[in-house]
Amino acid sequence: MPVIGNGGPIAIPTAEKIEIGIDGSITVVPQGQGPEAPVLVDRIRLVNPGAEPMTKGEDGLFRPLDFQDVLPPDGNVHLVSGFLENSNVNSVHELTSMLSLARQYELQVKVMTSSKEMSESSARLLQMNT
């Protein structure tokens, strides 16, 4: 999905260096230029949907329930540059947890099967003695 700026989708030209400020401003040093010639390309549109209830669209994007138009920019929203978004799940831990649960399930099924077999054996013994 394109990143939306103040002038629509942002297109970054070929550059030596790209910097994104906390206010969403994208500054580049054009290729072949020195660091003294930064150029402001655009500013990322930073919005805050607030505490409004959200709904997930068929395209997988979240929108406010009463979504009619583009949300207005919010000056109180800031970016933190230099970080990557990570998953909130540790996949290795979850995989080992899932394997542990599968083993516990198999063990419980074996215990129930053994219990049923013992019950049937005792019933047969009681029938033989009567």
* pLDDT beneath 70, residues of the chain: 67-69, 129-130
Q: Are 26 and 43 in contact (CB under 8 A)?
A: yes
User: What does the alpha-carbon distance between residue 20 and residue 81 come to, in Å, rounded to a whole number?
Assistant: 6
pLDDT at 64: 80
pLDDT at 130: 63
Q: Are 50 and 33 in contact (CB under 8 A)?
A: no
Q: What is the pTM of this model?
A: 0.54
pLDDT at 120: 92
The set of residues, in sequence order, having a beta carbon less than 8 Å from that of 9 and lying 6+ positions away, is 2, 3
**Angle (CA) 50 3 31, round 5°:** 140
Residue 54's φ and ψ, nearest 5 degrees, are -110, 155
pLDDT tens column, 45-74: 888 887 778 888 888 888 887 766 677 788
pLDDT at 129: 67
Residue with tokens 């047969």: 124
